Amino acid sequence: MGDMTPQASRVLERAVDLSVKDRGALIARLIDSLEDGPADEDVEQAWTAEIRRRFDDLRSGKAKTIPWEEVCRRAAALLRDGNMR
């Protein structure tokens, strides 16, 4: 399972058997645990600017979204054709 320690692999094996709701809650708690350190003000400002830019691009039509069904179709084609890198 990648570069995980055996302990992390065991936790993952058990976690994937949880319900979708429990996995979501677990993911949220894990992400929160990563954010326990002091916030880097420059990083926060950079993310805020990036989020604002992306939102403006979507709202103005500069960026286009792809329907979920199309994303799934493209991913399936990549997997089927072996084009994943």
Report which residue type is found at 32.
D
Q: What is the tens place of the pLDDT at every residue in 13-52?
A: 999 999 999 999 999 998 888 876 666 788 889 999 999 9
Confidence (pLDDT) at 31? 87
CB distance 55 to 63 below 8 Å: no
Q: What is the tens place of the pLDDT at every residue in 41-84?
A: 888 899 999 999 999 999 999 999 999 999 999 999 999 987 66
pTM of the model: 0.40
CB distance 1 to 12 below 8 Å: yes
